[in-house]
Amino acid sequence: MSLDFATLSQLRRTHPGWRLLVADHAPLVVSFLQQTFIEPNVRVMAQPELESRLEDLLFQLREREGDKLFPRSAREYLDDWAQHDKGWLRKFYPPASDEAHFDLTPATEKAIAWLESLTQREFVGTESRLLTVFELLRQMISGTEADPDTRIRELQAQRDEIDREIERVQAGDFKLLDDTALRDRFQQVSSTARELLSDFREVEQNFRQLDLQVREQIATWEGRKGELLSRIFGERDAISDSDQGRSFRAFWDFLMSPASQDELTELLEKVFELDAVSSFEQDRRLKRIHYDWLDAGEHTQRTVARLSQQLRRYLDDQAYLENKRIMQMLDGISARAMAVREQMPTGDFFSIEMPSADIQLPMERPLHNLPLKPMLDTEIEVADSSEISTEALYNQINIDKQRLKAQIRQCLQTQQQVSLTDVIGQHPLQHGLAELVAYLSIAGSDRHALFDDSHQDRIRWQDEDGLWRQAQLPRIIFIRP
Among 271, 350, 304, residue whose Cα is nearest residue 454:
304
pLDDT at 205: 75
Q: Which strand (E) or helix (H) includes residue 41?
A: none
Q: Which residues of the chain have a pLDDT value below 50?
A: none
For the beta carbon of residue 120, count every other beta carbon within 10 angstroms.
6
pLDDT at 356: 61
Nearest in space to 94 (alpha carbons), one of 402, 279, 303, 263: 303
Give all strands of the β-sheet with 468-479 in edge-to-edge order. 417-419, 468-479, 449-462
Structural domains present in the chain: 5-118 (1.10.10), 127-139+179-320 (no CATH), 401-479 (no CATH)
- Rounded to 5 degrees, φ, ψ at 96 are 60, 35
Closest C-alpha among 224, 217, 218, 200 to residue 304: 200
Which contacts of 452-457 are long-range, i.e. CB under 8 A and separated by 24 or more positions? 452/256, 452/476, 452/477, 453/301, 454/252, 454/253, 454/256, 455/256, 457/419, 457/420, 457/421
Coil, strand, or helix at residue 14? helix
CA–CA gap between residue 32 and residue 26 (Å, rounded): 10
Distances (CA, A) of 49 to 54, 74, 93, 97, 112: 9, 11, 15, 15, 22
Handedness of CA 94, 98, 99, 105 (dihedral sign): positive
**Radius of gyration (Cα) for the chain, nearest Å?**
34
Distance CA 100, CA 115 (A): 29
Maximum CA extent, the chain: 118
Please, what is the angle between helix 258-272 and helix 289-339, to 10°?
Answer: 150
Please state, as a whole number, how many other Cβ atoms lie within 10 Å of the Cβ of residue 325. Answer: 10
User: Tell me, what's the pLDDT at 378?
Assistant: 63
CA dihedral 131, 135, 141, 145 (to 10 degrees): 150
